[in-house]
Amino acid sequence: MVTIRNKKLRKVLLASAAIIIAGSALLYLAVARNNKAPLNDQAQLITEDGQEVNLDPPTDEEKDEANKHKEEIVNRDEQIKNPPSSSQTNPATVVITEATGVLVRAYVTGVFEEGGTCTATATQGSQVKTKSSSGFQNVSYTQCAPMEWDTPLGGGPWTIKVIYKSATAEAFQSKVIEV
């Protein structure tokens, strides 16, 4: 055992040793925390695309969210089966997703049907251009097939309006674009 005569030096050395030990302990904890060791000591699953798959059971957050979502699904299903007497008669809404000098793309929420007609008009002063297309079902809404202008629009501001009309619904949306 080496004896260190200088009292001050001994204290400094002791302090340094303590800090190093504490620091290593903290470092170890930090590393251990960030290493997400699987719970329940399960085997890892690496699938054929080389990626690791999460085999933990659902977290409480995931379970809460899923339970709420299920309630919503069930309530919505019930509401659809028994619509309240004051339900809207015309729930359709047109959404324009793209409007340029070349074409217009749009869809209609609130209806899910084939056979409707989408008509886009472009107005600038006295100039009016028109193009129609058919609506068709897409998963949960009605998609308008793209409406491509017969000739591209000239420069300047244009008011674009898309009207959807079918046997059961009618709706429109407008926006102003700059070509």
Partner 1 sequence: MARYIKFYLSVATISLLSALVFSPPASALSGSDWQAGRIIDDAIFFNPNTMNPGDIQTFLNTKVPVCDTNGTKIYSGSMTRAEYGTSRGNPPPYTCLKDYSQAIPAKSPDAYCGGSVSAGSKSAAQIIYDVAQACGVSAKAMIVLLQKEQSLVTDDWPWNIQYRSATGYGCPDTAPCDAEYYGFFNQVYNAARQFQRYAKQPNLYNFGGGRTSFVQYNPNAGCGGTDVSMQNQATAGLYNYTPYQPNVSALNNLYGSGDSCGAYGNRNFWRMYIDWFGSPNSNIPWAWLYEGQWAYSNSARTQTFTSVPTVVPGGKIYVRVKARNMGTQTWDQSFFHLAASRPMDSVGIFADSTWVSNSRAAKMLENTISPGGIATFEFALQAPNAAGTYSEYYNLVAEGRSWLNDLGLFFTVNVNTAISPSNSTNTTLGSGGILNKDDYLLSPDSQTVLTLQKDGNLTLNSNFKSVWSTGPLAGASRVVMQPDGNLVLYSLNNVPLWNSETSGNPGSQVVLQTDGNMVIYNSSNTPVWASYTIHRPDHLSYINTTLGVGRLYPGQSIETADRRFRLILQPDGNLVLYSPTRPTWATGTDGKQVSFLAMQPDGNLVLYDKSTRPLWHSSTSGRGSLRMIMQPDGNLVLYNNANLPFWHTSTSGVL
Binding partner 1 (rule: CB under 8 A), the pick from 13, 58, 114, 128 is 58
- Amino acid 136 reads F
Give residue 127's identity as a one-letter amino acid code: Q
Which range binds partner 1 by CB under 8 A, 55-63, 121-129, 150-158, 159-167?
55-63
**Closer residue to partner 1, CB minimum distance, 113 or 123:** 113
Decide if residue 114 touches partner 1 (CB under 8 A).
no
CB of 151 to partner 1, least distance (A): 19
Characterize 89-114 residue by residue with b for buried, 16 or more Cβ atoms within 10 angstroms of its Cβ, and e for exposed: eeebbbebeebebebbbbbbeebebe
46 within 8 A of 52, measured Cβ to Cβ? yes
Minimum gap (Å) between residue 125 Cβ and partner 1: 25
Residue 73 engages partner 1 in binding (rule: CB under 8 A): yes
Shortest spacing between CB 176 and partner 1, in angstroms: 13
41 is a contact residue toward partner 1 (CB under 8 A): no
Residue 126 Cβ, how far from partner 1 at the closest point, in Å? 28
- Mark the segment that binds partner 1 (CB under 8 A) among 107-115, 118-126, 154-162: 107-115
HEC assignment per residue over 35-90: CCCCHHHCCCEECCCCCEECCCCCCHHHHHHHHHHHHHHHHHHHHHHCCCCCCCCC
